[in-house]
Chains A and B, each alone.
Chain A
Amino acid sequence: MRAPELKSVAVSLAEAGAPGLPTVVLAREAPILEVEFAGLEFAVEAKLPASDWAVLALARALGQMSPAEIDAYLGLGEVVSEGLARRLVGEGLLEEHSDAPVLVPPSAADSGIGGFFRRLFGSNAPPVETISSSVRPTTVARKLRESRASTFPLCHLSAGGIQALERGAVAQRRVRAARLIFIAEPLLFIGIVDEKRQKHTQHRRAKPLEPERVPEAFRVLDATFALPAEERAAACGIGECIRGFPGQFVGIDPGAQWEVRQLERRNNGRQEQQLALLIVAGFPSSDADGLHWRAYLRQQERTQDCPHLDAPQLLGQNLSGLANLLVALETDVQLPAPSALRGDGSFSLRCEGALLPSLLGEADSPEDTFLPALASSWGVGIRMHALPSSLEAACEAFYTFLHRREASLRRDFDGTCANLATSLITYWGQDPGLPSADQVASYLWRRPELRAALCMRRRHRDLVTPYEHGEVAP
């Protein structure tokens, strides 16, 4: 990666909330993969109807109950009470009470509503109070009447029922097909494919990857997605929700399959793989290590912060420490020692005229630049504050910057020279003895593209001053 690109990457971190220019930026390209899921499971909240709330509250009060008790306490009638009980059992808010454990095949357990609530609440599900038939909690509730409704099934509150009762809302299960975009190493969710915009590509999509080419992380996506939201976010970047889908993300619909594809796009008539840029930036820190690392992802000119990625872990021990990093870097330039790190997070580097202009940036004025280097699979940029090692080097940089200010030189040659000299001296913090405007004019004549500016400088002397008293003001 070239210095300007590194600078561009470093500057883009600000839009993702970075505190300033990093000291070191490491970047590597990662292929973008699309995973198409036949079904992803989401939990969507709906308001708990008053009748349901009343039945669930009665179940919590009684510990266990039957349709006959619903009718007796709530006066809903035999038919309604029996129907309510059956529906709430069906929705998983009540569970049938059985003294003997019921053996349910695992798949059936996963696909049922109970399994949904287990996946939804996971280990955070509230403990369900097990109530024995012989012991009933006391309640101040009084029966309205004796009911002749059925005493079967005998039910108690499920975990979902307890949640619904507490929140006044019920979680409804929704299963949706989805196409999610990831990078594989590390596994990181990037976004979703907007189906509405992608319809025309349905028939042109790349074939799914053969199983042996599917990255390991994608083979265990079901397990990764099944993690609690916080752990899942750390593992793949997906937390409670997936942007673009309503409701809380639960996981892959049990039994649903997924396919992995490489994302491609046409460029100059050729298909090429889409890539994202994984960035790890080191910012100045008071830590003993001297740097604080943070990860970012850059895709299509947008950079986003990835706080859930463990940046030092991405780099590995060899690169995450400043001293180690400087040793590990491969570059054409003699790198400074860690002690050359300045307070603003850049490294002081004295260099000769051949190198100095390039390390002062491509703008009109000098600025820190990122010296390109390599470290294993990473392209690395180290922020340099370049200083001249000699007067010749300083002059070379001076002339290079003047060359970039042609328009300004045409307007005011001497003023431009003076302004630039001030700018360089301020940046360097020293005056190396830059040449005068006359010396500059003589030196720059060798560059034809600057001759207009040089001639404009002398036009007044040649064509105005000698004849001034001969002209009458307009």
Chain B
Amino acid sequence: MSNEIGAKPSSDGDVGPVRDEASKREGVKSSNELTVSLGEQRVVGVFFVPAPPGPTLPHSVQDTRRTDIVHVSTDDLTRTSHIRKALIEQISAAKQKVLFCSFLFADDEVVRALCDAAERLHGGVYVLTALGKHLRAEVLEPDADADANTAKLQGRAKRHEEHLQRLAHAGVWLRSAEDCHAKFCVVDDETAIVTSANATQEAYESNPEDGLILCEPRAAREYGRLFAHVWQHLATLESTPGARLDVHSLGARPVPSWRALVRTDDIRPLTTLRGDEASLLGAAVEVIDRARDHLTIATYSFMGMEAHAIGAALARAIARNVRIDLLVQPRDHIEAQRASLAWLVALAPDRVRIHGHRRTHTKSIAADGRVVLLWTGNLESKHGWDNGIEVGVIVEDAGVASAVAGWTGGVMRRATHVALHAPSARELVEAGLPSALFGEWTLRLAPGTSPAQTVNALSRNAVELLELPNTLVLRCADELLLDVRVNETSRTIEMLRVRPVQGLMGSRSKGWLAATFLRIVAPPAAQRAQDRAPQQQRHEGRRKNGRRR
């Protein structure tokens, strides 16, 4: 992988007006014209590219060798949902009550099972989910999938709403607690299922997800106690059972002090319960610290770990020569994740392997096949460790830990993406990503744009051409985004305006500028002055002349 950053001077060799470090890699034809060669600039951090096609590995059911703890997962290859099947079996067998927590409800079969249970038990089915304003915040949050778009999110929200209607009508009591991302189900205080999967068809059929069925009444009761505490005291919205969904606020009420979850033998229920309990964080650090040889880690996202207690534990593990395999969803558009992954790889490039799966959503940490943490949050510093509501479980059992690690390893072997460390645009194209704007092009800057700063940004970053519904965008990392119009005939790129970084929702990559020679033309000085607003010109005049008092 080359570290060389390509830029060549213009033919006359005149450095021109650009005086910063980057300007040394540029040439100037005239006072208004600069050139930049693109292709060798590097993407910051770890970047994922599609994995080369290989043999399709079948989904394998992992045996924990225990009857009281069963590993369940989604077989995304055959779209077989072991998680859903287990949930429905447990719910259908309920004799007293069902406690179900999932911020999304978009799966027909689970909803039907819950409705049937409520009808059969004449109530006794309690659900924590996203209602009302919580629904808007959670269900409609941007999806990491590059194909995410408004229609998909709205469709999911609509299904969620329809299912809530059905649940309410069937006699299910719905409540919603802000920032509750926990996903678990407790039946009769006898069985608990902790899973990474939300109650959606995608989670049960398409996404790599897994979970543990805990047929241990003391552990199940602890999860039941947690559910009851959130449902009774922390929920702020509800819809009581009735003819229709009727979401309303719950009044303020006293919250009893929380007593931390209690472990039972080798099962340790865990939670992040806002400020009241953070046993998940301690457990994650503990599991990592206990690793002597190998950590199998799965997370949907990996961000902000550099200065986090878990990051510190990972660094300690690497310092102990522990090998790390990390499964993560390849969300290249998020710089924070690229940076965090790069930090981890940099700790020990030969012992850290990153695997990308475009749909993975599973979350677990298994140490040496001896102990495993399975939880509902992610390796993100800002969410789920000391705020929000998440659940998890540590099982100190080789059979269970091996089952989880084995299944995660299987997903890693079926990885859809390969991680590259700081690849250049050319390397990305060579790895299979599309290229764009090949050859020589002229970039005409918009009035008011600084040619020096533009050249500087282009010279230092790998450049990608993005497509938005009404425009094309040249993206130089998050440093500079330009709305442009491309004229293939004249091979001219006309800059329209500078775009804020936040304005890329729904964008699609047209390709990387891997072999592009850009001639940058600034607008004539006179035009620049004319194009400025008279008000702006007056201000500049004042600046020159000093401020009058």
Contacts and interface: CB of A to CB of B under 8 A. Distances in A.
B164 to A, nearest CB: 14
B406 interface: no
Interface string B213-254: 000000001001100110110000000111100000000001
Contact of B259 (A449, A458, A470, A474): A470
B169 A448 contact: yes
Nearest to B254: A474
A473 interface: yes
A466 B228 CA distance: 10
B259 A472 contact: yes
Nearest to A467: B225
A459 B123 CA distance: 9
B171 interface: yes
B124 A462 contact: yes
A99 interface: no
Contacts of A462: 96-97, 124, 126
A451 B171 contact: yes
Given A449-B242, A466-B189, A474-B257, A454 B97 contact: no
A314 to B, nearest CB: 49
Interface string B432-470: 000000000000000000000000000000000000000
A332 interface: no
Contacts of A467: 221, 224-225, 228-229
Contact of B243 (A441, A442, A449, A456): A449
Interface residues of B, number: 28
B232 A451 contact: no
Contacts of A287: none
Contacts of B254: 474
B240 A452 contact: yes
A245 interface: no
B256 interface: yes
Nearest to B253: A474
Interface string B98-127: 000000000000000000000100111010
Contacts of B124: 455, 458, 462
A441 B122 contact: yes
B173 interface: yes
A463 B228 contact: yes
A471 B169 contact: no
A441 B241 CA distance: 14
Interface in A432-474: 441-442, 445, 448-449, 451-452, 454-456, 458-459, 462-464, 466-467, 470-474
Given A458-B123, A474-B254, A474-B256, A451 B242 contact: yes
B395 to A, nearest CB: 22
Given A449-B242, A451-B171, A474-B254, A466 B123 contact: no
Contacts of B189: 466
Given A441-B122, A463-B231, A474-B256, A455 B241 contact: yes
B255 interface: yes
Interface in B379-423: none
B171 A471 contact: no
A459 B97 CA distance: 10
B398 to A, nearest CB: 31
Nearest to B121: A458
Contacts of A472: 256-259
Contacts of A455: 123-124, 171, 173, 240-241
Contacts of A471: 225, 229, 256-257, 259
Nearest to A472: B257
B126 A452 contact: no
Contacts of B119: 445
Given A454-B122, A473-B256, A474-B255, A466 B221 contact: yes
Contact of B228 (A449, A464, A473): A464
A452 B242 contact: yes
Contacts of A441: 122
Given A455-B241, A472-B257, A445 B122 contact: yes
Nearest to A450: B242
A26 B168 CA distance: 48
A466 B224 contact: yes
B135 to A, nearest CB: 20
A463 B259 contact: no
B171 A470 contact: no
A470 B254 CA distance: 16
Nearest to B241: A451
Contacts of B258: 472
B264 to A, nearest CB: 14
Contacts of B257: 471-474
A464 B242 contact: no
A413 to B, nearest CB: 11
A449 B242 CA distance: 5
Interface string B247-290: 00000001111110000000000000000000000000000000
B224 to A, nearest CB: 7
Top 7 closest pairs, chain A to chain B, by CB: A452-B240, A451-B241, A474-B254, A472-B257, A455-B123, A467-B225, A463-B228
18 contacts: A445-B123, A448-B242, A448-B243, A449-B242, A451-B242, A454-B123, A454-B241, A455-B241, A456-B240, A459-B173, A463-B126, A463-B232, A464-B228, A464-B232, A466-B224, A471-B256, A472-B257, A474-B257
Interface of B: 96-97, 119, 122-124, 126, 169, 171, 173, 189, 221, 224-225, 228-229, 231-232, 240-243, 254-259
Given A454-B123, A454-B171, A462-B126, 11 more contacts: A441-B122, A448-B169, A448-B241, A449-B242, A449-B243, A451-B123, A454-B122, A462-B124, A466-B189, A470-B259, A471-B257
